């Protein structure tokens, strides 16, 4: 007979015993996921596959919900900002970086008025330390006055 015609008969698995123990461990250790529970079951001397533990874990509804991310980009993007009514109400600042033809990086500080869409200042250099950014903003404050808010 060809070997391909033969199959090994599966052993009967005692899922009830494993289910009860897993449920008891999960109640004791609510913050543990299926991987840590698998380790606990193996320490008890049970020969149990992690995939089987996962299947039982899901069947019993023990899977913990994932926590929400604290700073969702969508949530931050959906913040309603007050409509702009005049110039100098809100400025936007951003840093842009690129590299020169010979590979040296440079940065550009851009400051725009969000109402008029006017570019107030572009400052480009290989290095833009914080003191230089402060100096640029102070120069803008002297010539145009300070905005109510700055969006970075």
Q: What is the residue-wise DSSP string for 68-125?
A: PPSS-HHHHHTPPPPPP-STTSEEEEEEEEEE-TTS-EEEEEEEEETTT--EEEEEEE
Please give the average per-residue pLDDT across 71-95, as a whole number: 78
Residue keyed to tokens 């199959």:
7
- Average the pLDDT over each of 4-13, 74-83, 84-93 and give the range with the smallest value: 74-83
DSSP assignment of 34-60 equals HHHHHHHHHHTT----HHHHHHHHHHT
Query: Mean pLDDT for the chain?
Result: 87
Q: How many whole angstroms separate alpha carbon 109 and alpha carbon 120?
A: 11
- Residue 150 is given by DSSP the state E
Q: How many whole angstroms separate alpha carbon 57 and alpha carbon 19?
A: 8
Coil, helix or strand at residue 147: coil
Whether 126 contacts 106, CB under 8 Å: yes
At 53, the pLDDT band (50, 70, 90 cuts) reads very high
Please give the average per-residue pLDDT across 79-105, as a whole number: 88
pLDDT score of 73 more than 70: no
pLDDT at 96: 92
pLDDT at 82: 78
What's the alpha-carbon Rg for the chain, to the nearest Å? 31
pLDDT score of 80 more than 80: no
């Amino acid at each position: 007979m060809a070997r391909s015609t033969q199959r090994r008969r599966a052993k009967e698995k005692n899922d009830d015993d494993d289910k009860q123990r897993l449920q008891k461990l999960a109640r004791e250790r609510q913050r543990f996921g299926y991987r840590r529970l698998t380790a606990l079951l193996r320490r008890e001397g049970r020969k149990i596959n992690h995939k089987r533990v996962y299947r039982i874990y899901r069947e019993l509804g023990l899977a913990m919900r994932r926590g929400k991310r604290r700073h969702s980009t969508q949530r931050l993007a959906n913040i309603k900002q007050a409509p702009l009514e005049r110039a100098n109400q809100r400025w936007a600042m951003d840093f842009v970086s690129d590299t020169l033809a010979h590979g040296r990086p440079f940065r550009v500080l851009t400051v725009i008025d969000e109402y008029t869409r006017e570019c107030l200042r572009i400052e480009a250099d290989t290095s833009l330390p914080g003191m230089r950014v402060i100096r640029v903003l102070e120069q803008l404050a002297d010539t145009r006055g300070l905005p109510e808010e700055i969006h970075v």
